[in-house]
Amino acid sequence: MQKIRLDKHFFIFIILSAALIAELFIFLPWGIGSIAKTGKAVKRLKQKIETTKTEWPKRQDYLVKIDDLKKEIAKNKNKIITSGHESKLISFISKNSQKYNIRIKAITPLDPYPAKNKKFNYIPFRIEAEGGFHDLGNFLAFLQKDNYFFELKELTLAGYRPNKINILLCGLEER
């Protein structure tokens, strides 16, 4: 058997070549990938910082708007009739009609029926009354912007001074 003689220089060259190849094909792509991920993360953080810088001074305005919206939601929620309180609605209509010179002859509650939004029912009332045209307009405007949600489904006027009024008015009830 022949002795294999290894040259130190050749052995160092092989080790350095293997290290260089490993660096070139393994460690360098991994390092570049890490740098790219870090760069993307830094970019996202910079965007968040810029957004915070612009939005933070507006924070108090947002909190005020949130409070205003909560109040408006509570106010509008109170405009929906709760089940079993139809008599309060009739009383409200009757009481306020006098303020507008509308003389109610009869208020007849009708059977509820589903509204387009499946969460609500219409609570219809047939109202027979007498009064002037302008008084009626003011009364209906009052009803639509005051304590309850009302939708005017039918309106018939007959006669003159006083007008005979026939109204189908619907309130909203939550199911």
The SS3 of residue 171 is: strand
- CA 85, 89, 91, 92 dihedral sign is positive
| Structure confidence by residue, pLDDT tens digits, 11-56 | 788 888 888 787 777 777 777 777 778 888 888 988 988 888 887 7
Quick one: pLDDT at residue 12? Answer: 82
Q: Are 130 and 163 in contact (CB under 8 A)?
A: yes
Domain assignment present for 46: yes
| Structure confidence by residue, pLDDT tens digits, 146-161 | 777 778 888 888 877 7
For residues 91 and 145, membership in a common domain is answered with: yes
Give the domain extent around 136.
86-174
pTM above 0.95, yes or no: no
For residues 113 and 65, membership in a common domain is answered with: no
Quick one: pLDDT at residue 150? Answer: 78
| Structure confidence by residue, pLDDT tens digits, 105-119 | 988 888 888 888 778
The SS3 of residue 98 is: helix
The SS3 of residue 18 is: helix
Q: Are 167 and 155 in contact (CB under 8 A)?
A: yes
Q: Are 111 and 126 in contact (CB under 8 A)?
A: no
Domain assignment present for 105: yes
